[in-house]
Structure 1
Amino acid sequence: MEYQLKKLVNHYRKALQIKPYNLAIYDKIAELYYEQRELDKTLEVCQEALQIQPDLASVSKVLNKMLQTLGFEGEEVTDFQNLLQSKLDYESFHLLLSRSETVKTAADIKTWKDAIVLGYDLKEKKQWDEAIIAYIKAIEIEPSLSLPHFTLNYIISYCFSPHPNKLEIIIAFYYQLIQGGLTSYYAYVVLGDILTKQGKVVEAILAYKTAIDKTIRFNQKITNKYINSRKIYDVNFLIIGMGKAGTSSLYYYLCQHPQIIPASDKELHFFNKKFDLGLDWYLAHFPPLPVGGGFLTGEATPWYLGSYEVEKKVFQLFPKIKLIAILRNPVDRAISQYYMNLKLMKEHRSLEVAMTSELEILKGVEDPTKVSNKYWQTEKGYLWFGLYFYFLEKWMAVFPREQFLILRSEDLYNQTDKTMKQVYDFLEITDYSLSAHPKVNSGFYSKTSNELRQKLDDFFQPHNQKLEDYLGMKFNWK
């Protein structure tokens, strides 16, 4: 059945290459995925069609069926359809679910949606144990969705370290879930991450490789040439930075290209946090590539650029790798990082206080990248990570200039096709036209005062000038 589904999807995808704006073909592909309970993929295909034409008539039938299967009713269906025109699925889920009637306790859970609403509320309150239970309940009710797996993994990886006994219970839950067969490929990624946390690296590697295998089997880009070729494990490119500058969008666009096969997860943090786990652990997150087959793979961990001595570790393992850095106006980037931390409850100061505090410290430092440990006890690096010149200078002392592509974040959004052609040329792959350019992980926040912006502009001006002189390119950040 899996083979037949893949064959039919490939047939319709080929038809789209001839008639890329034929929405009826998207409808057929979405219907195929829906019939196989591939609900995330159904949603993804519906969204592709909506990006081409916001008129919902061509995809409403299968989309409505899917939403009803998931427990949406009445106006919720319309709200969700509207959200799909501009948001990726898990962002849409959060936006819609946050409007829903609050579920007070686990006893109130009747649907997967109830479970995610409760989990979301508990996560916001930092009631991590209870949030984990709620998301596990959501997975039990509807295991094919990626969102509860994604959020559960985020809590365990970045917010809270459950007791080892509780981790063992979650591992057992995932093994039982996988044996049932009705689950997202991301379940294997979560299992791998939890096993890694437990120090069970060999078992984690197997989980990651299974995740990759499942994505490859359903990847319409894969051809007989790929399947029948001798393969090697390699990593061809890294998007090394910078955080809150568009790396998620860039990686998302790049992974639409038929010659790019993505890693199991966008950010692996191997070179800045997990290097001691070894090369085998890292390579398990990537698909094996045919020798000379034209396929490439890579990952995007945006904090590599500013992390201590990462460039030396990368060169040690992959001296010929291609490196992409996307740089955003450092004032905008700093403000965006602040609001991200505020949303994650990692920041409790006002914007003015947080920026002014860091500004006063960095003003008196000759080399702003060489700050004391005391600095990190109070500051979050909002301004520090925008000092691009000093980071790139260190990387380019290790790697030759021709292995770097430096992009402006503003160009990625204002001239997407032109910017992506630069990326394709740099990676030496064919040109490719994207059907849509959604902004991934974008945030919304109130306007910054002109006085604060001017202070930050004045601080960054000499550092931006050094960057322009060093790279021989203009950024025109005002």
Structure 2
Amino acid sequence: MPRTLGSQITMEKTPSYFVTKEAPRRIFNMSRDTKLIVVVRNPVTRAISDYTQTLSKKPEIPTFEGLSFQNRSLGLVDTSWSAIRIGMYVLHLESWLQYFPLSQILFVSGEKMITDPAGEMGKVQDFLGIKRVLTDKHFYFNKTKGFPCLKKPEGSTFPRCLGKSKGRTHVQIDPEVIEQLRDFYRPYNIKFYETVGQDFRWE
């Protein structure tokens, strides 16, 4: 990490931190005062998005259904597949709570980041103890990508939007498969809501 003045905040982002077993201990040993921000979304949608991204790079991979289940007729979900396992948020959270209190962790709704980006960013700014700078006027909805982007900052030619790999159309999945995965995740979601004191309404 770069040297940080008392008036500055250093931020770093890596999607795999939350699900990496060694990460909580290592981050705690670096700085036990670190504030953690975790963006979560409906685990079924997250798994489909994960699969869609992988499929774009490896078109030869098995079907989503084939990877999701050990035995679909018995409803046996394959939790060894990372796209499924990542969405079992409460299990990963347990590792973090061994080192950090919940007061140092903010859970941001991936869904609300699309429907109300300024509202969610307001929570982030409050959590970090900084002045609310980002408001509704800083965002516009990009119809092509299907999510909000930052408007063009002063001195820049282009607005700031996520890269080409983001916003692609999801693969069509059998509604029955989606329903089975919803049933699978439900108890994990409920326990997650209870643990963090926040209902993300993923039902």
Does TM, normalized by the shorter one, top 0.5?
yes
C-alpha deviation, 1:433, in angstroms:
2.7
Q: Which amino acid aligns with 2:129?
A: E
Higher strand share: 2
- Residue 403 in structure 1 maps to residue 116 in structure 2: no
Describe the SS at the equivalent of 2:190. Answer: helix
Which whole-Å CA distance do the structure 1 matches of 2:57 and 2:41 have between them? Answer: 22
C-alpha deviation, 1:358, in angstroms:
8.3
The residue aligned with 2:91 is 390
Change (3 A) 1:307 1:360: farther
Change (3 A) 1:383 1:450: same
- Residue 311 in structure 1 maps to residue 24 in structure 2: yes
Q: Which amino acid aligns with 1:385?
A: I
Q: Which amino acid aligns with 1:457?
A: R
Which whole-Å CA distance do the structure 1 matches of 2:169 and 2:56 have between them? Answer: 11
C-alpha deviation, 1:308, in angstroms:
1.7
Q: Which amino acid aligns with 2:87?
A: G
Q: Quick one: which of 172, 179, 191 aligns to 1:447?
A: 172
Change (3 A) 1:427 1:347: farther
C-alpha deviation, 1:362, in angstroms:
9.7
Q: Deviations over 1:351-379 (max 9, x none)?
A: 221222487999489xx6xxxxxx4xxx4
% identical equivalent positions: 27
Structure exhibiting the larger radius of gyration computed from Cα positions: 1
Describe the SS at the equivalent of 2:69. Answer: helix
Change (3 A) 1:362 1:424: farther
Q: Which has the higher contact order (CA 8 A, sep 6+)?
A: 2
Which whole-Å CA distance do the structure 1 matches of 2:181 and 2:56 have between them? Answer: 22
Which whole-Å CA distance do the structure 2 matches of 1:451 and 1:432 have between them? Answer: 44
Contact 2:25 2:99 in 1 (8 A): yes
**Runs ≥4 in structure 1, deviation > 4 angstroms?**
358-365
- Residue 321 in structure 1 maps to residue 34 in structure 2: yes
Q: Which amino acid aligns with 2:100?
A: F
Contact 1:333 1:386 in 2 (8 A): yes
Q: Deviations over 1:196-228 (max 9, x none)?
A: xxxxxxxxxxxxxxxxxxxxxxxxxxxxxxxxx
Matched residue count: 179
Which whole-Å CA distance do the structure 1 matches of 2:130 and 2:72 have between them? Answer: 43
Q: Quick one: which of 122, 128, 131 aligns to 1:421?
A: 122
Q: Quick one: which of 321, 331, 339 aligns to 2:52?
A: 339
The residue aligned with 1:289 is 4
Q: Deviations over 1:285-305 (max 9, x none)?
A: x4x333x3x221211101111
Change (3 A) 1:431 1:347: farther
Which whole-Å CA distance do the structure 1 matches of 2:110 and 2:51 have between them? Answer: 18
Higher helix share: 1
Alignment of 1:42-61 (within 5 A): none
TM-score, structure 2 normalization: 0.79
Q: Which amino acid aligns with 1:355?
A: S
